[in-house]
Amino acid sequence: MDYAFATITELRQALDTKQISAVELAKFFLARIRRFNAELNAFITICENEALAEAAEADKRIASGKVEPLTGIPYASKDLFVTRAVKTTAASKILENYIPPFDATVIARLRQAGSILLGKTNLDQFAHGSSTETSFYGPTHNPWDLERIPGGSSGGSTAAVAAGLVPFATATETGGSIRQPASLCGISGWKPTYGRVSRFGVIAMSSSMDSMGTVARSVEDLAITAEAISGFDPKDGTSGSVKIAEWSKNLPRDLRGLRMGVPQEYFVPGIEDDVKDRVNEAIDKIRKLGAEIIDVSLPLTAYGSMVYAIVTSSEVSSNLARYDGIRYGLSSAAAKDVFEIYSLSRAEGFGPEAKRRVMTGTYALSVGYRGAYYLNAQKVRRLIVNEFAEVFKKCDMLLCPSTPNFAPKIGGAADNPLFGYISDQLNIPASLAGLPGLCVPCGFGKPAEQRDNGDMPVGLQIIGPQWGEQQVFQVGYAYQQVTEWHQAKPKGF
Amino acid sequence: MTYESIIGLEIHVQLKTKSKMFCGSKNDPDEREPNINICEVCSGQPGVLPVINREAVHKALLVGLALDCQIAEYSKFDRKNYFYPDLPKGYQISQYDQPICGKGWVEIDSPPRAGARRGGEKTRRTIRINRAHLEEDAGKLIHEGNTTLVDLNRAGVPLLEIVTEPDFRDPAEAKTFLHNLRNTVRYLGVSDADMEKGHLRCDANISLRNPGETELPGYKVEIKNLNSFKAVEAGLNYEIARQTELLAVGEKLINETRGWDDVQSMTVAQRSKEEAHDYRYFPEPDLPIMHFVREEIEKLRAELPELPAQKLERFQTEYGLPEKDAEVLVNERSLAEYFEEVMSELEEWLSSSPSPGVGRVGERSDESIHKLAKQAVNWITGDFQALLKVAGTDARDAKITPENLAELIKMIHKGEVSGAAGKKILTIMFERGGDPSNIARDEGLGQVSDEEAIVVAVDKVIAENPKVVADFLSGKKPALGFLVGKVMAEMKGQANPQMVNSVLSKKLG
């Protein structure tokens, strides 16, 4: 078996039938990480010793028959999740040497399930970005074309899964940071309903939108990992107590009788022709599976990015205040008084994008501007929420592109501070409304301007109503039963 | 020129809860070892989230109801952003525009104004409450030479900030209000409210206007660091004098914050409003909105204990206590409760047993209750409280039970022990507890009220002192005193002096 590109279900079987031990499997993936990370830069930290110790424990569990679906399955975590005793940087300089004394709830649940953490993946610094280029540790490269970005901010996680370095990885999304890089790296990604997965222990970007999900090789794998990390957490006052169904057991479903809406506004001006074509082909496939396809309209889509820019930068400006050089993290050696501890530590420790967002947010929340920016943005956000609620009276789910573009060359996104807002414009509205979304690979294509390039992946997005995880998984699963795009492997890995 | 002072208060009450406002760390204001009661949440580690403490919300509601505040149907938390080393997250979770408790009011008995014409008379005044909101406390900074240390034990402890309208016209009124508020929160069991320990912190706003004006002045001065009731009054009086002087020479006063210096007894300029922070308040996205159910709130209101102001009135009407006595009791909840327990013993005795000199058997007249109540309060606020003070304990922890003290009062009342002996018995009971009649017997402190024994002694003294008796009968009234003394000596000082007197008078009459 090719373990590198095997699904969780396949690996589960290999472990349970003793074809391979958890320690051997961990070693196998650790070797791949060591081999390919130099060219991908997908990992910031590799925790080999901890992983092998946990894998030995998992082998004991497997021997004793006390196995959960993820026992012995290796994974990587976006370096935004705090991990006890394992360095957690948020891809920043200011947390370069931060070793947390506790686990994020998601990490704790995966630990409980017996999943093996192999390392921490690269991301845009503090998740600020859509290209993984703002990382203090350098950009991650797209396995489909090393000259290109993997998308972001969860680019390290999606590149690692796409290159077969781990079977799945944790990821986070505030406005597209799971769906967009999953799309650009040609893998499956799940952005949960806000409140479905605990945010506790995940370094906050924008608290009212941050959603913790996973990226993997298939929708089935997503459903398995989703079951392991979802559910109410007493440590997170915004986590929901809605019951989790057995998503992975209820995946097969006849799509007949389902009504899928296609929001016309999501085929934005500037969308790549190949993206549009692949997504329309995928929609056609779903029609052929029996679902009814209707056109719907979400006229407020265009305002999403503006609302997002104001709300997230406002929350960012406050969420980053704790990195002050007093208790942990970088504290400037040059500081002569308390004011300089703040100003110099933050000046040295934050990258330009973090500074840009802190300044924007501070401005937006200031007396005299609060009403014009923050409060108005929240009102428009409410209208967007209402607009989705209305459209879900007409259809069960939405089908649309994950992102209008292909992965650009490294440097191309960094030079354009608005790249993220353009690239994530089809993800942001659902994020503002806290809705669940799925990205599934739906083919390949070439950017219109660069026809001489190799083919790059395209992703189909499925958006469900609040708490509608089960049904988006079912549609994604049905699609993957009749397509093979999710099984494609990049060359050289 | 005398101006009218306009005073408002902002009071922070540290709520006594098991854990902190937003995490499970212990809330222990007395912890001496630094950074013991902390966790990843209250030390502001990356990724942590706050969770609302139900007990703190409950206690805030109790205070709100006691202050007759409107309780919000829903309430939310907001972030107040600023940098300070004692503030781990770089923002304080507070409440901005939807406080848990809205407008309310309380009445206070304003002490007579200094220089008021009708001296000595109190006036009842209404003080409006603007709001009361929940927030978290900051840590403490400890300065040692050139270094500053941070202790986060206090970081995240629940605070209730109570803001009054500028309704005080006199520093003494502000002090009275604060005093009542302290008693109220203690009665509610929501805070120890010890100002010296920082459980209760007060900032005052003060400005002056010409008498007869109704508009608020165009400025206000905030006084911080008022760490005792005395400081509140002194700080305000100092500001009145300072501002009066400046206004008298035509100076325009500005908004500013001044700190009270207890040592120098003066306020010192800290910062003017022009340098004021922009706290960039916005709704705390990490916490859900709190919804309050009307019926639950009304249930809570019905369950409120009797508050000190109500108790003060009741002690005066029900027991006929003078206001001063009632006040001393009410000021300490444990003392007031102790008094009530003593009284309930005494009242039971009154209505069930013969009680010479108090009323007829079974009669329970107001007069007799008032008389006993006065005796009880004298014992409690006199010798008993003095003993408590010396021992540094609380009435609840005293070895004398209310039953024992009631028993002692009955014994004195019945003439079984003298007042002087009663004091001795009380001291013994305070030291080792026990029943007062046993103590009286063991220590030989009982008083003989047995008429027969007294008659025997009186007869003996009359027989042995014919000359003195003759003197008395010839009109030398003071001679009686000598005879009484002789009888008392005969009975080793344990006779009931009133009975000796009356028996002697009868025999010689």
Q: Which amino acid is at B405?
A: L
Mean pLDDT of B303-324: 93
Using CA coordinates, name the residue in chain A closest to B44: A322
User: Which positions 33-52 of B are in contact with A (Cβ < 8 Å)?
Assistant: 40, 43-52
**What stretches of A195-320 show up as alpha helix (H) in DSSP?**
219-229, 273-288, 304-319
Instruction: Report pLDDT digits (tens) over B422-475.
Output: 888 999 999 988 889 888 888 777 777 777 778 888 888 888 988 888 888 888
B90:A322 CB<8 A? yes
**Comparing A349-353, A359-363, A415-419, B308-312, which segment has the lowest mean pLDDT?**
A415-419
What is the signed CA dihedral for A12, A15, A21, A25, rounded to 10 degrees? -30
Domain ranges, ordered by start, for chain A: 1-296+383-493
Q: What mean pLDDT is predicted for residues B341-362?
A: 71
pLDDT in tens, A30-73: 999 999 999 999 999 999 999 999 999 999 999 999 999 999 99
Q: Any catalytic annotation for residue A177?
A: yes
pLDDT confidence tier of residue B119, bands split at 50, 70 and 90? low
Task: Please state, in angstroms and rounded to a whole number, the distance separating the CA atoms of residues A426 and A458.
Answer: 14
Which sign does the torsion angle of CA A255, A256, A259, A265 carry?
A: positive
A338/B contact by beta carbon, under 8 A: yes
Predicted local distance difference test score (pLDDT) of residue B353: 64
Regarding predicted confidence, which is higher, B51 or B500?
A: B51
Residue A472's pLDDT is 98
Are B91 and A199 in contact (CB < 8 Å)?
no
Q: What are the CA-CA distances from residue A62 to residues A10, A11, A66, A168 (Å)?
A: 15, 13, 6, 20
Closest approach of B57 to chain A, Cα-based (Å)? 15
Nearest CA in chain A to B89: A322
Instruction: Please report the ipTM that was assigned to this predicted complex.
Output: 0.95
Q: Does pLDDT of B359 surpass 50?
A: no
- The single residue of A177, A230, A345, A431 carrying the catalytic annotation is A177
Q: Please report which confidence band the pLDDT of residue B354 belongs to, taking 50, 70 and 90 as the band edges.
A: low
- Cβ distance B280 to A204 less than 8 Å, yes or no, reads no
Give how far A317 is from chain B: nearest CA, Å: 9
**Cβ separation B47–A367 shorter than 8 A:** no
- Is pLDDT above 70 for B112? yes
Q: Is A336 a catalytic residue?
A: no
Average pLDDT, chain B: 90
Q: Are B306 and B107 in contact (CB under 8 A)?
A: no
In this predicted structure, the answer to whether residue B362 has a pLDDT above a threshold of 60 is no
- pLDDT band, very low/low/confident/very high, at B194 (cuts 50, 70, 90): very high
Q: Confidence band (pLDDT; 50, 70, 90) for B396? A: confident
What mean pLDDT comes out for the span B138-163?
96
pLDDT, residue B110, reads 82
- The position carrying tokens 């472990």 is A15
One-letter identity of residue B473: L
Please report, for residues B268, B400, B457, B492, the alpha-carbon distance to residue B495 in angstroms, rounded to integers and kept in the order given: 66, 26, 10, 8
- Give yes or no for A326 touching B (CB within 8 A): yes
Q: Are B16 and B189 in contact (CB under 8 A)?
A: yes
Position A37 scores a pLDDT of: 98
User: Domains in chain B, ordered, with CATH?
Assistant: 4-300 (no CATH), 306-442 (no CATH), 451-508 (1.10.10.410)
Query: Does B286 sit within 8 Å of A238, measured CB to CB?
Result: yes
State mean pLDDT over B247-253.
92
What class does CATH assign to A1-296+383-493?
A: alpha beta
**Tens digits of residue pLDDT in A345-397:** 999 999 999 999 999 999 999 988 988 999 999 999 999 999 999 999 999 99
Average pLDDT over residues A239-245: 86
How big is the A-B interface in CB pairs under 8 Å? 103
Selected catalytic residue, list A21, A77, A78, A305: A78
pLDDT band at B493 (very low <50, low <70, confident <90, very high): confident
Q: Is B114's pLDDT higher than 70?
A: no
Q: What is the pLDDT of residue B185?
A: 97
Does the structure show a pLDDT above 60 at B273? no
Whether B343 has a pLDDT exceeding 80, the answer reads yes
CA distance A82 to chain B (A): 7
CA distance B485 to B504: 11
SS3 A117: strand
d(Cα B325, Cα B328) in Å, to the nearest integer? 5
The 10 Å CB-count burial string (b at 16+, else e) for A155-170 is bbbbbbbbbbbbbbbb
Q: What is the pLDDT of residue B503?
A: 86
Distance CA A27, CA A59 (A): 13
Average pLDDT over residues B192-219: 94
Beta bridge partners of B6: B207
> Which residue of B47, B51, B83 is in closest CB contact with A237?
B51
For chain B, say whether A382 makes contact (Cβ under 8 Å).
Answer: no
Confidence of residue B115 (pLDDT cuts 50, 70, 90): low
> Could you write out the DSSP letters of every residue in A22-53?
HHHHHHHHHHHHHHHHHHH--EEEE-HHHHHH
Model confidence at B360, in pLDDT bands (50, 70, 90)?
A: very low
Q: How many CB atoms lie within 10 A of CB A101?
A: 12
pLDDT of residue B120: 62
Lowest model confidence (mean pLDDT) among A163-167, B228-232, B462-466: B462-466
Query: Is A88 in contact with B46 (Cβ distance < 8 A)?
Result: yes
- The alpha carbon torsion through B382, B384, B389, B391 (nearest 10 deg) reads 150
Residue A273 pLDDT level (bands cut at 50, 70, 90): very high
Q: Measured between CB atoms, which of B46, B91, B280 is closest to A362?
A: B280
Sequence-distant (6+) residues with CB within 8 A of A220 are A7, A8, A9, A248, A251, A477, A480
Can you tell me the distance from the alpha carbon of A179 to that of A117, in angstroms, rounded to the nearest whole number?
A: 22
The answer to whether A389 faces chain B, any CB pair under 8 Å, is no
Q: Is A98 on the interface with B (CB under 8 A)?
A: yes
A78 is catalytic: yes
Q: Does residue B224 register a pLDDT over 90?
A: yes
With CA atoms as reference, the chain A residue closest to B151 would be A327
- Note whether B81 contacts A235, CB cutoff 8 Å: no
Residue of B nearest to A374 (CA): B282
Determine the distance in angstroms separating the CA of B277 from the nearest CA of chain A, rounded to an integer: 10
Would you say residue B116 has pLDDT above 80?
no
